[in-house]
Amino acid sequence: MDPLLLVYSLSFCLLWPVKSDVLIQGPQNSQPVNDIEIYSIDISSLVTSRFAHNVITSKAVNHANVSKEAIFDVDLPKTAFITNFTMTIDGESYPGVIKEKEVARKQYETAVSRGQSAGIVRASSGRKTEKFTVSVNVAAKSIVTFELVYEELLKRQLGKYEMFLKVQPKTLVKHFQIEVDIYEPQGISFLDAQAPFITNDLLPTMKKTFSGKKGNVSFKPLLDQQRSCSNCDTTVLDGDFTVTYDINRETPGNIQIVNGYFVHFFAPKLDFVPKNVIYVIDRSSSMSGQKMEQTRQALLKILDDTAEHDYFNFILFDTRIEVWRNQLVKATPENLSAARRYVSGIQEQGATNINDPLLKAVELLNKAHNLKEVPERSVSLIILLTDGQANTGESNPSRIQENAKLAIQGKYTLYSLGFGYGVDYAFLEKLALENSGIARRIYEDSDAVLQLQGFYNEIANPTLVDIEMKYLENATSNVTQNNFKQYFDGSEIVVAGQITDNNLNYFTADVKAEGADKSLNYSENVQLQKEDSVSREQAYIFGDFIERLWAYLTIQQLLEKRVYAGPQEKENLKAQALELSLKFKFVTPLTSMVVTKPEEEEKEQTIVADKFVDGQSTDFAIPVPVRSYAAAPVIPAQHISSFVPRNWVDSDPHFVISVPRKNDALCFNIQEQPGVILNLIEDQELGIAVNGELIGDKTTENNLISLKTYFGRLGVVNKAMNLEIEVTTETITILKGNNRTTFSWSDKASINSDGLNLEIDEDKQLKFSFGEGATFVIILHKVWKGHSVRRDFLGFYTLDDDKFSKGVHGLLGQFFHGIDYEIYNIHATSDPNKPDATMKVKDKLITVTRGTQRDYMNGSTDDNKVPCWFVHFNGEGLIDGSHTDYIVEDIFKIA
């Protein structure tokens, strides 16, 4: 029986709604779904000097007289670090412990190898959020409390700080409240809070106040006020709760000091510096259709927003490059009109050459500066937009990075925009970071124009160039980045560090920078006070925030530097970032949080929660593809028309596990080297094992090595019958005791003796069974003899699996007695036929993708394609342990 599962989702922070389709799973005619009642949700945010400390507390009670499972499911900002998680069940606390990633991984593996249940939580759930999910069994009549804490430094963009909480309780909640308290020493200049679900009826339940240094937002709808209509049991609370504010800017900067740490905020209001922009735009064939149209529209909007003092040019690239004008052009109305005509006419064609247009852009900027075609006081930017990876010209990514860095020599800033999922995001990120820019992902969606325009707006108005922030040399240490190439209006520079001199009376900061028409000097002085009222006032929120802010910023910057550092320095940066992550208890890409939670029958489960990293596969991270979440699609009704329950492995090796009770199937691939032998079935009780050896493709003339592998040899052993069968693509050999008989695949033979039933269907398939046991079928795939790459290979199919013992294992065997799973949150990807979803299997949550696999048992027509949920990364999460646990040294190996 499926356990009655109640999932409630409380999503915190994002701009884009994530819809869960499947919320309440379970057998029909079962007990009422509100056996588990969520009776309290409390979201509390304390923000001190831009540093936000968020606590989400949720309480549920199981009214049923049997244990039920509840899932705590939160979406938090990707920029945040989780710092604590605690589960309390009937007064007993189960805390999350933050550990080095490798250590957490070992703990996970140990739990798996002991046969305990274990899981890894790592999922991106939207553009700006990642998901944290824990499920727990709640005993009859028991209460569970979940408490999640995360922290983040709010970034000022376009003149405001924004914090968004996504609220999605999915059910009516007796005590629901959001409380945001802000303390800003410079004084708050405006504060707002919005949510689409706040109707006139709900308006009185939201309070927004600010005065002086304090701001306060609270939202406490009563149970009846949460109803979507007066008689409904559904909740109206579903959407983004966004808090925005800004602070007074009487001085350009502000320094705060608490407990030996300082933070310096710097956001002056100044005249704009002209900018020289070269738009390097991908018009290769892959941009065809909507992406190209959106790019044209975005460029037209950007031209509308370009200030007359700016200079610009376009370089379009495909296999070759096309430069619009041979020099940068001033943004006069006439030149802008000409540019609009040019942009409207951009047509896609050819392959992707990234190297040459970048070098050309640098050449144009060098020339413009040398010939003084552009103002001396100006900012020069290169904006690269691509939807793919370099595949013509210089296509080695490291070479392109090297070339760009050498050419730019730190003089210009390079931004890279990766449009869609065809890009190598790690490449774009390194390319940008090495040249003082940033990379941004543009999600392939209807709002791509707005995303591109939004990015442009952030960098539209530079006001300072070459900013140097200086602090007392001998009185400070561990200062975060303090040199910046430019400052854009509406943003903010933040520098933090330690004060090493305890006897300091004054703390000073000097800022030097180049403005629109002159060099600028700022000097700031703060008198240091002893155990003073100021720090006590700040402790109003929480005392050590500057220290944590410093640690947060330092870790972010170390991780960023790691992207482009050399191998030696990489290790060094990693070690420093890891030390800080552990010391300050942050779940960063280098650490994981391990939660050991109670299971039924006194068992335990180990859950490892990892941070999601876009485009970067950290040491053992499984990079889960981020996808844009369009309106949640309904999975196409692709049931298996004439469902034949069998499990098999065929082609390069694709494993297919049929799940009759769901009239569906699961599938995964195993990627290993030729020569590796994998255990498919091992039944120690019956003494039967099946192993398969991988072969690769032929090596082609130009030595192209294909990654594809197939089964070229299968070994079957039956200990009780003292029998071994070896099947290659040429022969079938039966060894019974000392009696060896070899058949060729071209034979038509049949054996029926001593419990072995075997039948060779010439050059097609081999069918065999042992006594009353299960039947196996091996399919011979013969390729055309002259095929340059492919070799003959084998497919292996099992019928009537229930004839194996309960303990049967192996890559296929472990599924012979059924596998249970639930699918949630089906969402669209760039391929409409391949939506992603979250699968809950073996108490883990993994990302799966809808796909199809071919069943060759009745020939290879398209009718025999079987839809299945594809599990990525060698079936990790679905199979017990890791795929390497199934590697054996001998084709007849049996334990």
Ligand X SMILES: *[C@@H]1O[C@H](CO)[C@@H](O)[C@H](O)[C@H]1NC(C)=O
Among 113, 409, 722, 741, binds ligand X (CB under 6 A): 741
Would you say 404 or 493 has its CB closer to ligand X?
Answer: 493
Contacting ligand X within 855-874 (CB under 6 A): 857-858
Cα–Cα distance between 51 and 587 in angstroms, integer? Answer: 17
Would you say 309 or 405 has its CB closer to ligand X?
Answer: 309
For the bound state, the minimum distance from the C-beta of residue 731 to ligand X, rounded and expressed in Å, comes to 14
Among 84, 366, 508, 805, binds ligand X (CB under 6 A): 84
The backbone torsions φ and ψ at residue 427, rounded to the nearest 5 degrees and listed phi first, read -65, -50
CB–CB of 677/890 below 8 Å?
A: yes
Contacting ligand X within 89-108 (CB under 6 A): 95
Among 155, 175, 207, 698, binds ligand X (CB under 6 A): 207
- Strand 175-183 relative to strand 36-48, pairing: parallel
Residue pointed to by tokens 């727990």: 136
Does residue 478 interact with ligand X by CB under 6 A? Answer: yes
For the bound state, the minimum distance from the C-beta of residue 761 to ligand X, rounded and expressed in Å, comes to 11
CA-wise closest residue to 377 among 314, 289, 475, 309? 309
Q: What is the CA radius of gyration of the chain?
A: 31
Would you say 95 or 773 has its CB closer to ligand X?
Answer: 95
Mask 447-476, x = binds ligand X (CB under 6 A)? --------------------------xx--
Would you say 478 or 852 has its CB closer to ligand X?
Answer: 478
Cβ-proximal residues to 531 (8 Å cutoff; 6+ apart), any chain: none
Cβ-proximal residues to 533 (8 Å cutoff; 6+ apart), any chain: none
- Amino acid type, 655: F
Among 528, 644, 721, 819, binds ligand X (CB under 6 A): 644
**How are strands ordered across the β-sheet holding 519-527?**
483-488, 462-471, 506-514, 519-527
Cα–Cα distance between 567 and 589 in angstroms, integer? Answer: 18
For the bound state, the minimum distance from the C-beta of residue 168 to ligand X, rounded and expressed in Å, comes to 23
Residue pointed to by tokens 């900012």: 379
Does residue 334 interact with ligand X by CB under 6 A? Answer: yes
Does residue 335 interact with ligand X by CB under 6 A? Answer: yes
Cβ-proximal residues to 218 (8 Å cutoff; 6+ apart), any chain: 177, 178, 179, 180, 206, 207
Among 485, 562, 585, 827, binds ligand X (CB under 6 A): 585
Cα–Cα distance between 8 and 754 in angstroms, integer? Answer: 58
For the bound state, the minimum distance from the C-beta of residue 734 to ligand X, rounded and expressed in Å, comes to 5
Cα–Cα distance between 371 and 377 in angstroms, integer? Answer: 14
The backbone torsions φ and ψ at residue 712, rounded to the nearest 5 degrees and listed phi first, read -110, -15
Would you say 86 or 288 has its CB closer to ligand X?
Answer: 86
Among 216, 225, 392, 775, binds ligand X (CB under 6 A): 216
For the bound state, the minimum distance from the C-beta of residue 554 to ligand X, rounded and expressed in Å, comes to 7
Cα–Cα distance between 814 and 683 in angstroms, integer? Answer: 10
Q: Residues 126, 132, 137, 139: is their CA dihedral positive or negative?
A: negative
The backbone torsions φ and ψ at residue 547, rounded to the nearest 5 degrees and listed phi first, read -60, -45
Does residue 110 interact with ligand X by CB under 6 A? Answer: no
- Amino acid type, 714: L
For the bound state, the minimum distance from the C-beta of residue 813 to ligand X, rounded and expressed in Å, comes to 22
Size of the site for ligand X (CB under 6 A): 33
Give alpha helix (H) positions in 371-414. Answer: 397-408
Contact stretch for ligand X (CB under 6 A) within 115-123, 210-218, 407-415, 810-818: 210-218
Does residue 40 interact with ligand X by CB under 6 A? Answer: no
Would you say 79 or 864 has its CB closer to ligand X?
Answer: 864
For the bound state, the minimum distance from the C-beta of residue 461 to ligand X, rounded and expressed in Å, comes to 21
Query: Residue 342 is inside which H or E element, if any?
Result: helix 333-344
Does residue 775 interact with ligand X by CB under 6 A? Answer: no
Question: Helix 425-433 vs helix 545-564: angle between axes, to the nearest 10 degrees?
Answer: 110
For the bound state, the minimum distance from the C-beta of residue 419 to ligand X, rounded and expressed in Å, comes to 29
Does residue 147 interact with ligand X by CB under 6 A? Answer: yes
For the bound state, the minimum distance from the C-beta of residue 218 to ligand X, rounded and expressed in Å, comes to 4
Contact stretch for ligand X (CB under 6 A) within 67-75, 214-222, 363-371, 421-429: 214-222
Would you say 381 or 593 has its CB closer to ligand X?
Answer: 593
Q: Residues 287, 290, 291, 294: is their CA dihedral positive or negative?
A: positive
Contacting ligand X within 504-543 (CB under 6 A): 519, 521
Does residue 329 interact with ligand X by CB under 6 A? Answer: yes
Does residue 502 interact with ligand X by CB under 6 A? Answer: no
Does residue 29 interact with ligand X by CB under 6 A? Answer: no
Residue 413 tokens, joined: 């800033």
CB–CB of 81/552 below 8 Å?
A: yes
Would you say 103 or 721 has its CB closer to ligand X?
Answer: 721
Contact stretch for ligand X (CB under 6 A) within 302-310, 327-335, 377-385, 624-632: 327-335
Cα–Cα distance between 786 and 784 in angstroms, integer? Answer: 6
Contact stretch for ligand X (CB under 6 A) within 114-122, 247-255, 383-391, 735-743: 735-743
Binding site for ligand X (CB under 6 A): 65, 84, 86, 95, 147, 181, 207, 214, 216, 218, 327, 329-330, 332, 334-335, 473-474, 477-478, 498, 519, 521, 585, 642, 644, 734, 736, 739, 741, 751, 857-858
